[in-house]
Structure 1
Amino acid sequence: MSWFGSSETDGLDPIIERATSETIPNGDIDFGAALELSDRIRSKQIPPKDAMRSLKKRFLSSKDPNKQKSSLKLIDFCIKNGGEHFLLDISSKEFMDPFIGILHDKNLNGEVKQYLLELIQSWSIMFSTHPKLSYVNDVYKKLQGEKFKFPDITEYVDSSLIESKVAPEWEDSDACMLCSKLFSFINHHVVAFFAREHSSQSCELPELGITVPVRVCDTCYQEHMDKLEAQKKTSNKKSHKKHKSNKASSKYSIGNEDDDLKKAIELSLQEAGMTPEATTNTKDDISQPPPYEDEDAAMKAAIEASLQDLHQQEKPISSKQLG
C-alpha cells in the first residue's frame, strides 16, 4: 500500500530520460533528476517493480554506449539510495537474467561490458550480508564460472551503502495499534491502522524521501518536531557565536582606526615643529579627556601652525620687493 493513496508512475519514464539524457557526455547522469527518482522510489511514491522495469527498459532499449553507461549509472545510484524494498526487485531473475544475456552479445561495447561486470561484482559484495538479495551473488558466481573477466577490486565496497532509511510498511489491522480501538468499516480503510485521534497531524519526512506533507501518527509527529526544534537551536547558537565574533572584530577595527588617527595628528604636529603637551602625555593621560575635544584641539593647533609658517615665508618676500 502506498503512503500517497495511489501510485505515481505517470512521470517515471520522463524522469529517467532526463537523468540519462543523450546530451550529457561521458555516460554521466543528471544528479538532480537521479535524486528525484531515488527519493520517489524510497518514499514509495513509485512501486519498486515499476521502477525496476523502467530502468531495465532504458538500458536494454538502446545500442548507444553513452546512453547504456548512463542507464547503468542511474541503476547503481537508485540501488544505493532507493531502499531495501527496491533491492528485492533488483535481486530477481526478471531484472538480472537479461543482463546475463546481453553480456554474451558479441556486439556489446567493450567499455559498457566492463562497466556492467564491475557493477555486478560491486552489487554482489554489497548484497552479500542480505540473504533475501542472494540472487545477484548467484549471477556473479555463474559469470565467474563462465570465465568472464571481472576487474580487480581496488577499493573497499561498503555494504552499508544500500541501507537507506525508508518509510515503514503499512499493515492491515482491525484496531488502532496505539489504543486498540476497533475500526468501523469506513474508518478502517481511511486511517489504515491508527485511530484518527492518534494520526491527525501531517508533515514532510525528508529523511524518508517524502517531500510532501503526509499523515503521521502523533508519536512520529512529535519526534519530527523535536528534531526540527533541536536543529533550530543548533542553528541559533552558531548564528549567535558568529555575531559575537563579528562584533568583537568590529570593536577591534574601530580601536585601531582611532589609534591610527591619533598617530597621524601627532606626526603632522611634529612636522610643523610643534610639541604640544597633549603629544607628550602618557597613554593613560590621553585616554582621560573626551576624544573629540582632543582631536579638535590638535587639528586647530595644526592649522594655526600652518598659517604661522605661511606668514613667516611671506615677510622676507615683501621686504625684498620694497627694497
Structure 2
Amino acid sequence: MQFKRWRLSAASPLVNAGLGLALLFTASACSKQDKAAQTEAETPVIAAGTVLPAVWSTRPLEGEVASIALSGGLRGILAVAYENGGLQFYDMEAEKLGEKSNFRLKSLAGGQSSIIEDRSITVFPGITREGELKGYIYGEGLLAPAQIDLPISAERVIAGVCSGPATGTNLMRLAFWTETNNRVLQNGIIRATDGDLKWTAGESTFTDFPVKSCAFTSDTLVASPRASMAASLVRGPLDALVSLENGKLGISTDMGMTNAEIDVKDGITVIAPDTPVAMAAMGTMMSGGYPGGLIVIAGETAPGEHHAVFVDASALTLSTN
C-alpha cells in the first residue's frame, strides 16, 4: 500500500517517505546512501498480513500502561511506565526486577548499557509528566528503578524522545522534540566519561509536520507525524521499522515507502491485547531465548486486566538471513 509522501527540509541529506514515516538522515547516513544501489535487490520485503506468535507475557500488570521500552546487552530488560504513575523493570522471563518506583512518566525510550565507575548499569531515557528528560537506571544493588539527571539542557517542555545504540565509549544516540517546537528533532550523543555523563549535540533536523514519534535505525533517524510509537528492528540484512498507529502494528523495510500490517496470534496460554497501547522492539536479544529478536506489546487483555506480551519476531528476522 502506498501512502502520501512527506516533503522535508533538513540540514542533513534527506529522502521523501510515506506512511508518515519520514526518514531524516543523520550525518552517519551517508554510508547508507552510498551503498543503497548495491543492496536494493537484497532488501527484504515483508508480506502484508504477516502473523507473529505471542509466546510469553508478564503476570497481570498493576494498571494501564503509558509506555514501554526494551534494552539489549547481556541482560535484556523491559521497562514499564504506568498511566497512573510508577515504573517497573522486568527481565526476559517476564519476572519483576526489584520493586516498582513511584516516578510518574509519560514516555520511555530504549535502554542502553554501559560500565560507569566499574559498575554495569542500564539507562532508559524517560520524560516526566512535567516534561523533564531524565534517566532511569537498573544496576546491581538497586532495589527499584533509580532516577538520574541527563546532561541535556532544554528550555522548553519535552514532548517526546527516542534513543539508539552508539559506538565506542558513547552510551547512546538520543533525539527529542519539545511541545512548543514539535517540528524540530534535536539530536546528539550521550557518553560516559570518568563516571559522568556528557552530551554532545548534533545538528537539529527540521520537518514540515508535527513529530509524534521517532526511532534510530542502524544509521538513520526516523520521524513520524502519525505513528504514536516507533522502534527499530535490525538484524542481518533486515533494517526495519516497527510502528504502532491507532492500536495497529505495522512494519516498513523499504525506507518507509510501504507499510505491512502485523497480526499477533495468541499462544496456548498467552493472550495478546486486541488494541495495544504501547510497543517496543529489538532485533537482537542476547538473553531470554529470543534468537530472532523480540517485539513487546502492552495493553488490556481482558476487562480491567493489562499485560505486556512478548512476540517472537523470528518470522521477520531469521527468514531474511
TM-score (norm 1): 0.24
Query: Higher Cα Rg: structure 1 or 2?
Result: 1
Please state which structure has a larger fraction of its residues in strand. Answer: 2
TM-score with structure 2 setting the length = 0.24
Which structure has the highest helix share of the two?
1
Higher relative contact order (CA 8 A, sep 6+): 2
